[in-house]
Amino acid sequence: MGASFKIDDADFQAWADRVKKKATASKLRPLIEKSLENVGEQALRQLKTNTPVDTGNLRRGWVSEGSSYGDGGWQVKLANHVEYAYFVENGHRTRGGSGWVPGQFFMKRSTETIQRQLPQLIDPALYAFRAMFE
pTM: 0.72
DSSP state of 66: E
Average pLDDT, rounded, for the chain? 83
Model confidence pLDDT, tens digit, residues 41-62: 999 999 999 999 999 999 999 9
Q: Give the up-direction half-sphere exposure of residue 83: CA atoms within 13 A in the CB hemisphere.
A: 0
Model confidence pLDDT, tens digit, residues 50-94: 999 999 999 999 999 888 877 778 888 899 999 999 999 999 999
H or E stretch including 102?
Answer: strand 100-102
Q: What is the pLDDT of residue 25?
A: 65
- Report the distance separating Cα 82 and Cα 107, nearest Å: 14
- The residue type of 4 is S
Domain segments of the chain: what residues?
Answer: 26-131
